[in-house]
Structure 1
Amino acid sequence: MIESAGPRVLQGHGTENDFVVLPDPDGSVWPEGRLDAALVRRLCDRRAGLGGDGVLRVVPSALVPDAAAVLGEALSRCEWFMDHRNADGSHAEMCGNGIRLFLHVLLAEGLLDRAAAEAGVLVGTRGGPRRVGALPEGGYWVDMGPARPLGDGAMVLGGRSVLGVGISMGNPHLVVLLDEPVAEVDLSTVPPVDAAMFPEGVNVEVVNVLPTADGADAHARMRVHERGVGETRSCGTGACAVASAALTAAGRSTGTVVVDVPGGRLSVGFDGRTTVLSGPAVVVAAGHLAPAWLAG
């Protein structure tokens, strides 16, 4: 008989940007010393583990050692903290797809009521506090904060140097607008970028600007190579960076952008002050980690 005494674990995704989710409502199941980089890599391994682009630990902000440093005076207003790790075990600042899944899990686990979710709640992240909420018709939104320009930057793509625009969404992005179809671009390895501009690495997005769709002000198709992960089916912060670049290319600073990713469709709105990302999130499996696997 397979044991079920191991800790609970969920799997879910937002537009196929998938995560292993670890509920830890009292902070005792996955303390920092247990959830180390090696275990994160094992959990995210798609052959020997559960598989995912990262790990999301659902834990109260007050129980995260570095939460006060990243949240400041907002610590007391962020009941929950999205302790996000990349698939390589490194800590991640922020993930727009992950935080929508995070809110979905808070609702599914009974840790937050629906009315509070629809009103919007602050969630702590290593990129700072983020307000996230549930849409009445389904799906979730998150206030991603402003898109901050980092300046132009170069990278090597297909043996040639191409120019992109650096954008910060709490984490760094290099967005490259291309005429060639993004489906033909090789993102199997990390595209070489200006290490002086991005000393800690960068998320790289390749983009086609398309005719407008669904009444939006701009429409883009993107693929992404995420820092610490590799190519993923979607990236929420990347979609926001891409949307900002697409609006700028259209001569606009506000409006709504439809962003198509390999895993589905996202909507990004700019009002001149902040960025709001909307899209789906779903839990696809729940169970327990086998003690024998954990011990291995």
Structure 2
Amino acid sequence: MREGIQTEFSRNGYVILEDFFSEEEVAELREAGVKLTENLPEESKRVIFSTTKTQQFQNKNQYFLDSADKISVFFEEGALDENGKLLVEPGIALNKVGHALHWLNPTFKKYTFCEKVKETCFQLGLADPVIVQSMYIYKNPGLGGEVVPHQDSTYLHTEPQRLIGFWIALDDATIGCLWFAPGSHKGGVHRRMIRNPDPNDEELFIFTAQSPTYPTSNFTATPVKKGTCVLIHGEVVHKSAPNKSPNPRHAYTFHVVDLKNSTYSPENWLQLPSGQTFPGVYKN
């Protein structure tokens, strides 16, 4: 099995693992995700997440920058007015919650460090995998925003490339599913988003290049059933369309880095406070 996963991963840049989690396990994860929509931040502290607004929401917001060791809440574009007041029901207002769910929330911690994840990391040949971030993604009906074509290594860079995403479907993902450009991970990192080294600049993040244009014909849809885990190479180009259907498409995702065979960039936007370290998959 190890050779099979590695071969497909090397060829396409992603692997689909069906029935990774059972119905009961999916239900527990999903229940924990829904619970996160309770006790939302007060209006003045609500932050929108969008990948279609040239990262403007991030560039001017310290809340995002400081989320590496916290459970932070991010809203959909259409969920808030200019004053932060909800325009929709709280249960469908969130885009995502991150970026330390894997460590600070007992349910997500249990599944992130479970034996299935450890075995998969072993099959991928990872010597010292650590979890660098995690997210619960809602993709709510009618509101779930587009995720534009991107590479995860743009945001979480290692040298050499040793970033792998675990994306777990908690609903059937048909409309609004992931789309991949198979083999696109072989072309290197096209651009990076890094912390601005100038402390006096109002822009907290900068990009090293313009966003490339990717032909639509390059992409292949990957509809999956709930309980499926999709392994995502850090350099494979992928995207997802807005969810305009009446059905939700919840997912839990986290990113793994092999620290024995790579170095996590000190320029990445996501950095732990001094003295903290990323938790190891095999050690927890």
Normalising by structure 1, report the TM-score.
0.28
Specify which structure has the higher proportion of strand.
1
Structure whose alpha-carbon radius of gyration is higher: 1
Higher relative contact order (CA 8 A, sep 6+): 2
